[in-house]
Structure 1
Amino acid sequence: MRRPADLPDLPVRAVLDQVTGTLDEHGAAVLVAPPGTGKTTLAPLALAGSGAGRVVVAEPRRVAARAAAARMAALLGERVGDTVGYSVRGDSRVCADTRIEVVTSGLLLRRLAHDPELSGVDAVLLDECHERHLDADLLLALLLDAREGLRPDLRLLATSATLATERLASLLDDAPVLTVTARTFPVQRHHVPPVRGERIEACVARAVRTALDDGDGDVLAFLPGVAEIRRTADALAGLSDVDVVALHGRMPAAEQDAALTEGPRRRVVLATALAESSLTVPGVRAVVDAGLARVPRVDHRRGLAGLVTVRVSAAVAEQRAGRAGRQAPGRVYRCWPEAETAALPRFPEPEIRTADLTRLALDLAGWGTPDGGGLRWWDVPPEGPLRAGQEVLRALGALDADGVTDRGRRMADLGVHPRLARALLDGAAQVGARAAAEVVAVLDDDTLAAGVDLGTELARLRSGAAPGAGRWRREAGRLARLVGSRDGGTGQDRAPDRSARGAGHPAGRGGDDVALVVGLAHPERLARRRADGSSAYLMAGGTAVELPPGSPLAEQEWLAVAVADRRPGDVHARVRLAAPADRELAERAAPALLADSDEVAWRSGDVVARRVRRLGAIVLEERALPQPPPDRVRAALVDGLRAEGTGLLRWTPAARSLRERLALLHRTLGPPWPAVDENVLIDDAARPDGWLAGPLATARNRADLARIDAGAALRALGGWQLASSVDELAPERIEVPSGSRIAVDYSGDRPVLPVRVQEVFGWTRTPTIAGGRLPVVLHLLSPAGRPAAVTGDLESFWATGYPQVRAELRGRYPKHDWPADPLAAAPSRRPSRGARG
């Protein structure tokens, strides 16, 4: 094993002796070094060369694990798999003499579950901790727990490309932080934002052409995902004397190795986020940054989980730009306006705050800490998402009251999401191990599917015509071997393997097999076309989805939806991958979602009573319920009142007047006079002894509500004592001096009495209600019934206001009698004519 002095002259070499010495003394350390400084390759060699035993390096991505092992083996002049090897899911190159093994974080988690002591391992290097991947955060927490109880001698070296390491160092018992300064060259920054209506791929392609014209060297372009890489490559198809290559985690190993090797011609490398810090792409002099990344997100309300596209953080943008200045002065072309740079978040959002935590919940339960209590976390798992993950595991049979079940442990060993593990185990028992494994391999890597019809995509993969077919075939074979020798975890005999059959649609068994496996993985995504004539489907989980225009599945009534997402602003979620299904298959795939119930509810403006069979939110069949329980009918009627208001009742003018008078007495006198506003009346109606108790006891539908006399019910609201005094305290009519009984208007804040001026001659005292507490406002009218004056003080009006009113009315109505002394004049319903006073 080579000593630090014999290693390549990369910046990290200067601190390697310090790193090994710090680990010997403290048992843990944090190494901060920018990408390209050699921390991933030189530090493990130094640890192994210092006399340490087996060294395990945990990488966040499979391509990074393979590349790191290849680079270290080359430095030693050996083959991968001798002194330095790697192990990733489905691929391993190690031997008995391997001293440095590079693994993915997820694989090391599986090993910890089976061997918490990590027997034979002397040191673990956790690479690229700053990326805050979910598996890496959990791995750190479990390794710290193992050191405290089982392996206090286990040495931990955490590496990061950013200086924000205070929290990381404190988790490692205030471990020393060693910092490496990179030898970098200046990088010129340019902004080339999209023009109006331009897609990001077109903008990136335009920036790549500019970068090629502005200088020499290769161009590294960052895009959020595989689909964008493909479209950008198509947009650059006309370039001459330049090789356009892709680099992402789903590529075959040989193609990844080629992308990481300089070629004879200039290259444009179109990469996802894996090229930010985990890998070194040689020959790069220019970087084009789309400014986007694809990260896991969960929409708990709609039951959708998957990858979404977000803006990168400022830290990530700087790391990407730094790739251009590793070997010479470089240039970065950012595909966003310069003014938006200041608004970027400082660091990436940790996955543990946003991702689906079902797999993490299974790992924690297997570790013996279902809620994660007692572990030292960089960020504690959010309680709600963790609890949601545990509920999923219980539904899958992976957890019970005693913890992880045998089935749960087997699901964890499969190395896929627990939902996919369930589909593999149960699907193998029903459709055969190979058929189930083929579907699960696509569900675990949906970039393999270019179209929306999963059956068609499987046929392309089986034929070898689809990109990634070899990778899919290997993964399907691995999964089939894991379950092929057993009964699928259900205790049933396995069905014959039908994987050789065509993909087909429900008319053929092959199509049924595909949809069944999808339904086993995502029973809540079984979907049926809505009955309203629209193109939308309703999933069993309650979310509406739509197929993309022109989809070959558009005529299907049932779908087993494998992948769906919802773009901001869209009314419905969008189906990205699905298989045709039918009702029989849906019931077979999701028996736990089947339910028969009697439903009595207010729907579409009336009480609907029906007996319903549902698959989750999907109504399978229904029929009328002839004799619904009275208490449920009453509850439905109250819901109708809440939805549409008390206007559903019969309100005569007298009833409306009574309500207005009760409202005024409540405002003026307070209790025991009841409030009669809308919310109060509806809440009281919900009480068994409320104001509508009697009428609701016999009502059955909207028509019955319309026959309920609201006035009669209101009089019962306050009891007979109040009902007997309401007319006294708030009379419906008031007698005026002319002898007329005039209706009082209680609709406003104050009671109003509209009366002709001639009918109140001689009336000196303003009438009052509520036991004399509230004066009535008089709206004094002309002979034609038009307003002439408003007063709440008659005595003052006769003295000061009447003279002006008299003058105006004499001019308008000269044939009417307008006495100069209204207090001495006789009131009249029919004013005398001719006398002018």
Structure 2
Amino acid sequence: MTFYLLKIQSVPTVEFLQNKLVNLDLPIVEHLDGISKNFLSHANLVLQAEPGAGKTTVVPLALLNHIPKNQKILILEPRRLAARNAAERMADILGEKVGHTVGYRIRNESKISKHTRIEVITEGILTRMLQSDPELAETGLIIFDEFHERSLDADIALAFSIEVQQTLRDDLQLLVMSATLDAESIAQLLQNAPLLKCEGRNYPVSIEYVAPKQHQDWSNIFTNAVNRALETSDNDILVFLPGIGEIKKANRIIQESFSDDSELVVVELYGDLPFSEQRKALLPEVGVRKIILSTNIAETSVTIQGVDCVIDSGLMRQSEFDPNVGFNRLRTRNISQASATQRTGRAGRLGPGSCIRLWAESDTLRKETSAEILRTDLAQFALELAKWGVASPEQLSLLDQPNTGAFNQAQDLLKKVGALNEQGKVIRHGNAILSLGVHPRIGHMLIKSIELKAGKLGCLIAAMLEEKDLLQGQHNGQYNNPDFSHRLNILFEPNFKSRTKKLILSQSKVLARKLDKIEKKSGSVQREPKEITHLLPVLLAMVFPDRIAQKRGQGYLLANGSGAQVPDDFLMVDEYLVVVKLGGQGRATKIFQAAAITRSDIENFFPDRITQTRDVKWDDKSLSVKAQLNTRLDEIILDSKKLSNLEPELITAGLLQGVLKQGIENLPWTPELLQWQERLIKLRQLAEYQNDFPDVSHQSLTDTVTQWLAPYLTGMYKLSDITESTLSQALKSMLDWNTQQKLDKLMPLSIKVASGSKVKIDYASSDKPILAVKLQEMFGEKETPKLAEGRLSVRVHLLSPARRPLQITEDLASFWATSYEDVKKEMKGRYPKHPWPDDPLTAQATRYTKKRLEK
């Protein structure tokens, strides 16, 4: 009889689940019929439920009997605590232990069995499952909980799941849930999925703003806030702080300032705590009043009982890519409006509550927290995509597309560390890196360290890079020491104690366990770190292949082509370094941490990265082409030899570099060539001729220099070899004979004026062609001369007998009718030997004096 009872309990019936759920006093229960109906008629759903609605624990149970008996539900949670908590709560509703119908899988721990049909997992685990078995045949529904947090893992997992649904499993269903979410956008991403909304259960919460005064000590601000909370609250107090350091500091302040209150208990809550310690914060305690000091882990997904007051620092730690160290780093940032609302809501679960915000009400918060895909390192993301068989993020269904430049840089890095081939495909080494679940830079080094029998040292170095600087906070001057090897030696000192050292040693053990399988497969015996410290720079160079640096002047040239200076107190003067930490941007970039590496180590351990190139370059000093055979490590030149007898096309390419560097305008242009250029430019400004003639503007000539100039540079090495004749030939070759004849006809070099003289036109001095001619030579000319078949008027500069400007006009007829009389009166006395007729339109045009005319 007992056997049958266990059999019934192993598969909860519809009636059993309905009875369990209907008695729950949670707002989501009233919406279960609507959720179930939509689930049965649609492949995808979006559920927007306010905090306290009960969506995380009730919805999966309600949908369990709507999927086939041989399939399970996967629920993604953003944190390990949330995953465990959700699994325990659901198991408790069913009256079971975790691991039976409901189980969980998180990093380094799982509680599941053959009976498990609801599996709560953290986000990275689903990605691993999809990569190893894209079909997920045993899964009927995937629930993405708290999707508003927009972690990179959640974005990847959802994108992969959508593709699986569209290509392999049209029966796979997806449900995205969140309290604060741009629900419309996610519904569109899921092929216009139904959007369901559910209110939460929150009582009114009064909000008080306590803005820090200028130069006010944080300890004082916090103490006052706790005092205020104790006065207004009768229950537990939840304090949101950005990180562990602030939590420890707040704990000390409370212990010192409120030591007389025997009922007051301080409890800490953050991700790295053991689960048993985390549970102390979640569960109520009889006879005591708790102050819970928490990171944003308490914002969503977990229920903290007994809280009616929140103190919100308004700060959070956010993962962001730091180009100075090459990894993501946690940065302290202001929270968003959405986070502030979530935190405030924690005070209104039991009844009316209060929230003390430690910022000014006038402070502006951004609406939502930005997605990780827009602010974090994309190397892991690029590797996951390559493993999935996707060349570009645009091929996936993502709410936000990452920066193209950042994604391309990530791919370049993966190629450098041997994770991808040149075609961007994952190779064996890349798969091994993925299996470790660490940053590809570090994964590459860890795997290679085993080959050097330096796995233990590799794990130590990796942990040192992942944690904050070992010497940060030291006040004996050691922190300013830029040598990374000094930090390793300090780590070995038994008398040196710090929290960071403990974290480094702990993390190195975690990494060693991940490496264990690869290490055993290699069969090599790993040496002790202290015995092989000389391999430190080699292992660092494997992490930072793009940051091997060569001394150049007062600074260094990095293998990636960028330059970096050193601070004034920088103690290292080695020829080659591996740069660990940079600071600043552009020309202000400085090296703050590095390790010296020898030339022989570079050649011995990185031979596949050393290449020989024949480099033909322009030399600014000699204004000529220089050809060299260079031995290179990326952009670093290790050796250089002068080359001779190069192919003519290489020399020409080098000379063209010089032409472009000096500028097209600095070629030997003659006045005649400048006139030729301007004739074409002004002609092309007329729409009728734009397609008949080439563009010879400086910009166009620069863009097409290889087409028109290169054929005329054969045998030339220097800029001075390009003569006026060479330039003239090259330019005029752009026009065939017929086109040149057409140019001469439309834009002639000179025109015949009324006196019979041929007068040159100046095309280069102004925006319009200029005809500078003595006024007397234009007598009888009624209209302004025109070019280009009458489409372009010239600008006439009428000159005195001494060839000084008298009048500038583009309307000759108007000049004769209005201005001529004034000019005549002024000039007649000054130039009496020249004709100044009363009627210029009937007078004889002449370039001579009156006396010469009479002859």
TM-score (norm 2): 0.73
SS of the residue 2:508 aligns to: helix
Aligned residue runs from structure 1 range 625-664, under 5 A:
625-664=643-682
Task: Show CA shifts across 1:123-180 (max 9, x none).
Answer: 9775433423233344456678889999999998865334766787899999999876
Structure 1 residues 248, 615: CA separation in 2 closer, same or farther (over 3 Å shift)? farther
Pairing 1:615–2:629 present: no
Single out whichever of 392-401 and 411-420 deviates more from structure 2: 392-401
Aligned partners of 2:618 and 2:657 also within 8 Å: yes
Q: Runs of 5+ in structure 2 lacking a partner? A: 1-8, 473-478
- In the TM superposition, what is the alpha-carbon distance from 1:749 to its structure 2 partner? 3.9
Which AA in structure 1 matches 2:310? A
Aligned residue runs from structure 1 range 415-814, under 5 A:
415-445=437-467, 450=472, 454-458=484-488, 463=494, 465-484=497-516, 486=518, 494=524, 496-500=526-530, 509-510=532-533, 512-524=534-546, 526-528=547-549, 531=552, 533-534=554-555, 538-543=557-562, 555=573, 558-561=576-579, 579-586=595-602, 591-602=607-618, 604=620, 606=623, 607-664=625-682, 670=689, 675-683=695-703, 685-687=705-707, 690=708, 692=709, 695-705=712-722, 710-711=727-728, 713-719=730-736, 743-747=760-764, 748-757=766-775, 760=777, 764=781, 768=785, 773=790, 776-782=794-800, 785-791=803-809, 797=815, 800-810=818-828
User: Match for residue 212 of structure 1?
Assistant: 226
Which AA in structure 2 matches 1:520? M
Single out whichever of 797-806 and 134-143 deviates more from structure 2: 134-143
The alignment covers a number of residue pairs equal to 806
SS of the residue 2:762 aligns to: coil
Task: Show CA shifts across 1:501-523 (max 9, x none).
Answer: 5xxxxxxx51x533333332342
Aligned partners of 2:144 and 2:176 also within 8 Å: yes
Pairing 1:320–2:350 present: no
- In the TM superposition, what is the alpha-carbon distance from 1:775 to its structure 2 partner? 6.0
- In the TM superposition, what is the alpha-carbon distance from 1:499 to its structure 2 partner? 1.6
Which AA in structure 2 matches 1:440? A
SS of the residue 1:465 aligns to: coil
Whole-angstrom CA distance in 1 between matches of 2:186 and 2:560: 39
Aligned partners of 1:435 and 1:499 also within 8 Å: yes
- In the TM superposition, what is the alpha-carbon distance from 1:14 to its structure 2 partner? 7.7
- In the TM superposition, what is the alpha-carbon distance from 1:412 to its structure 2 partner? 3.2
Task: Show CA shifts across 1:211-236 (max 9, x none).
Answer: 32433256655455567778988999
Whole-angstrom CA distance in 1 between matches of 2:811 and 2:834: 25
Structure 1 residues 797, 475: CA separation in 2 closer, same or farther (over 3 Å shift)? closer
Task: Show CA shifts across 1:634-660 (max 9, x none).
Answer: 233334444443322223334434444
- In the TM superposition, what is the alpha-carbon distance from 1:82 to its structure 2 partner? 10
Structure 1 residues 750, 349: CA separation in 2 closer, same or farther (over 3 Å shift)? closer
Aligned residue runs from structure 1 range 176-575, under 5 A:
181-191=199-209, 208-216=222-230, 220-222=238-240, 241=259, 247-250=269-272, 271-280=294-303, 283=307, 285-290=309-314, 294-296=318-320, 312-334=335-357, 338=361, 341=364, 344-345=366-367, 347-352=368-373, 355-356=376-377, 358-360=379-381, 370=390, 379=399, 396=417, 398=419, 407-445=429-467, 450=472, 454-458=484-488, 463=494, 465-484=497-516, 486=518, 494=524, 496-500=526-530, 509-510=532-533, 512-524=534-546, 526-528=547-549, 531=552, 533-534=554-555, 538-543=557-562, 555=573, 558-561=576-579
Q: Runs of 5+ in structure 1 lacking a partner? A: 502-508
Structure 1 residues 413, 794: CA separation in 2 closer, same or farther (over 3 Å shift)? closer
Aligned partners of 1:634 and 1:697 also within 8 Å: yes
Aligned partners of 2:786 and 2:793 also within 8 Å: yes
Aligned partners of 1:219 and 1:285 also within 8 Å: yes
Whole-angstrom CA distance in 1 between matches of 2:576 and 2:526: 26
Out of 137, 141, 160, the residue aligned to residue 178 of structure 2 is 160
Aligned partners of 1:427 and 1:436 also within 8 Å: yes
Structure 1 residues 706, 59: CA separation in 2 closer, same or farther (over 3 Å shift)? same
Structure 1 residues 682, 410: CA separation in 2 closer, same or farther (over 3 Å shift)? closer
Aligned partners of 2:38 and 2:45 also within 8 Å: no
Superposition CA RMSD, Å? 5.9
- In the TM superposition, what is the alpha-carbon distance from 1:245 to its structure 2 partner? 7.4
Which AA in structure 1 matches 2:549? R
Aligned partners of 1:204 and 1:289 also within 8 Å: no
Which AA in structure 2 matches 1:678? H
- In the TM superposition, what is the alpha-carbon distance from 1:700 to its structure 2 partner? 1.5
Whole-angstrom CA distance in 1 between matches of 2:801 and 2:193: 97
- In the TM superposition, what is the alpha-carbon distance from 1:319 to its structure 2 partner? 0.9
Whole-angstrom CA distance in 2 between matches of 1:168 and 1:802: 78
- In the TM superposition, what is the alpha-carbon distance from 1:788 to its structure 2 partner? 1.9
Structure 1 residues 698, 388: CA separation in 2 closer, same or farther (over 3 Å shift)? closer
- In the TM superposition, what is the alpha-carbon distance from 1:805 to its structure 2 partner? 0.9
Task: Show CA shifts across 1:171-216 (max 9, x none).
Answer: 99999998765432322334556778x8xxx897675345324332
Aligned partners of 1:756 and 1:781 also within 8 Å: yes
Which AA in structure 1 matches 2:296? A
Aligned partners of 1:523 and 1:589 also within 8 Å: no
Structure 1 residues 795, 296: CA separation in 2 closer, same or farther (over 3 Å shift)? closer
TM-score (norm 1): 0.74
Aligned partners of 2:483 and 2:594 also within 8 Å: yes
Whole-angstrom CA distance in 1 between matches of 2:186 and 2:811: 80
SS of the residue 2:714 aligns to: helix
SS of the residue 1:500 aligns to: helix
Aligned partners of 1:442 and 1:448 also within 8 Å: yes
Whole-angstrom CA distance in 1 between matches of 2:398 and 2:591: 35
- In the TM superposition, what is the alpha-carbon distance from 1:246 to its structure 2 partner? 6.2
Which AA in structure 1 matches 2:207? R
Whole-angstrom CA distance in 2 between matches of 1:813 and 1:151: 100
* Identity, % of aligned positions: 32
SS of the residue 1:676 aligns to: coil
